[in-house]
Amino acid sequence: MSNGTQREQWGTKLGFILACAGSAVGLGNIWRFPYITGQYGGAAFVLVYVVLVFVIGFSVMLAEMAIGRNAQLNAVGSFRKIKGGMWPIVGWMGVIAGFIILSYYGVIAGWTMAYVLKSFTGLMQADAGAEFGAFVTNLPQVVAWQALFMAITIYIVYKGIGGGIEKYCRVLMPALFLLLLVLIVRSITLPGAGAGINFYLKPDFSKLTGGALGAALGQAFFSLSLGMGCIITYGSYLGKKETLPGAAIQVCFLDTLVAFLAGLVIFPAVFAFGVEPGAGPGLTFITLPNVFGQMPGGAIWSALFFVLLFVAALTSAISLLEVVSAYFIDEIKWSRQKASMVMGIVIFLMGIPSAMGVAGVIPKLAGRDFLDSADFLASNVLLPLGGLFIALFVGWFWTEGAKQEVENNGTVPFGLYTAWLWVCRVVAPIAIAYIFITGLKW
């Protein structure tokens, strides 16, 4: 290593997979996936989504793992070390995307923490819509929760790879699965739950429009944490003897499973109580509290659900802060402690305008508040562009090196290598260019 110290590494391959899955499983799975699935034709959409995840998502994920593991550096340094030229710009876009996404992600994650508490302090008796409105306009409170969430995120990244990120993901990810299973059992055993399962999963191919395809691929990228160097960074802490394709498949599988299961929590409960499904943040912070409020023991179910969201958000947030921190550690030679604290605080401050926008303190921009605009810039511009260039990089510019990396220098042949190569060469770039262009509608 350049500074003479050994680069940190994951303790086990399972630790690496759980950390990647932790990054992937986030707010995107639990509120966004179920809602767009309902909107775009239920099972028909799930089918398309799964194909896109395992063809394009998997390919880009494997490409990112190969880049990071080969270079053993952050997103910018990896491109610089492997090829140089203009390529580090792709890493740069990733670091910037990390700043942007975490800035508003921290705000929403703060809400989830507040809602755990609120579940026991009147939320169940209140009108959830009014309660949500009153909460998000109470700026000091929102910012305080955001600060607390960011402090926890900083603490874990500060502790490093094995002693921080891996250690916590190994506990938090199984906990998340357990919470999800408990909530599913509650939800699907409610009288009338069948209507929700029907709405969620009944295939309706007429809703599978071009827009649905774009939505599915955009969702796949965001949900799998692709296109911004998260997986490059996590891959850079992986030892040379581990194999990559299996890890990439497992992460894709876990992420998709959690997204799918989240819908089985939400829709049966919503339909059992005859509430309109609603959309996006409204579904999570207004519709669901209304539903929980009608259940016996609702406060407990509500608290469990928001703990689930909090855990999912936390393991994603640490991966976002790690992308940024790794850059300052490798390239600027800051200590991990300094990088995580300074950048965590900067990102926290950058998130305050998002909180102010939702509170109505700062005006909207062409109908979008600050948070939505930041999300649009990251999800619809930076991530697809990043994914596009990563696929092209591996497919055309670093072909032999990538082959050596995914096959551990020829010792572990990858049966699907040729298919993977052509997905990176043409299929993924064309598909991504398509969503990029259709997704640019402001």
Determine if 28 is a binding residue for ligand PHE (CB under 6 A). yes
Residue nearest to ligand PHE as judged by C-beta position: 26
Q: How far is the CB of 219 from ligand PHE (least distance, A)?
A: 9
Determine if 91 is a binding residue for ligand PHE (CB under 6 A). no
Rounded CA gap, 161 and 163, in Å?
A: 6
Measured at the CA of 21, the angle between CA 286 and CA 236, to 5 degrees, comes to 135
Determine if 153 is a binding residue for ligand PHE (CB under 6 A). no
Cβ closer to ligand PHE: 109 or 352? 109
Cβ closer to ligand PHE: 232 or 320? 320
Owner of token pair 């989240």: 262
DSSP state of 57: I
Member of 15, 22, 26, 164 binding ligand PHE (CB under 6 A): 26
DSSP output for 124-142: TTS-HHHHHHHHHT-HHHH
Cβ pair 157, 329 in contact under 8 A: no
Owner of token pair 């199984």: 174
Beta bridge partners of 365: 368
Q: How far is the CB of 1 from ligand PHE (least distance, A)?
A: 26
Determine if 70 is a binding residue for ligand PHE (CB under 6 A). no
Determine if 319 is a binding residue for ligand PHE (CB under 6 A). yes
Counts of helices then strands in the chain (DSSP H, E) = 23, 0
Cα within 13 Å of Cα(358), Cβ side:
26
Determine if 112 is a binding residue for ligand PHE (CB under 6 A). no
Ramachandran region, residue 295 (left: φ > 0; alpha: ψ -120 to 50; beta: rest):
beta
Q: How far is the CB of 98 from ligand PHE (least distance, A)?
A: 7
Determine if 320 is a binding residue for ligand PHE (CB under 6 A). yes
Q: How far is the CB of 6 from ligand PHE (least distance, A)?
A: 26
Which span sits near ligand PHE by CB under 6 A: 42-50, 140-148, 217-225, 291-299? 217-225
Which span sits near ligand PHE by CB under 6 A: 198-206, 312-320, 340-348, 364-372? 312-320
AA identity, residue 433: A
Rounded CA gap, 27 and 316, in Å?
A: 8
Beta bridge partners of 368: 365
Cβ closer to ligand PHE: 383 or 431? 383
Cβ closer to ligand PHE: 9 or 112? 112
- Sites of contact with ligand PHE (CB under 6 A): 23-24, 26-29, 101, 222-223, 225, 228, 230, 316, 319-320
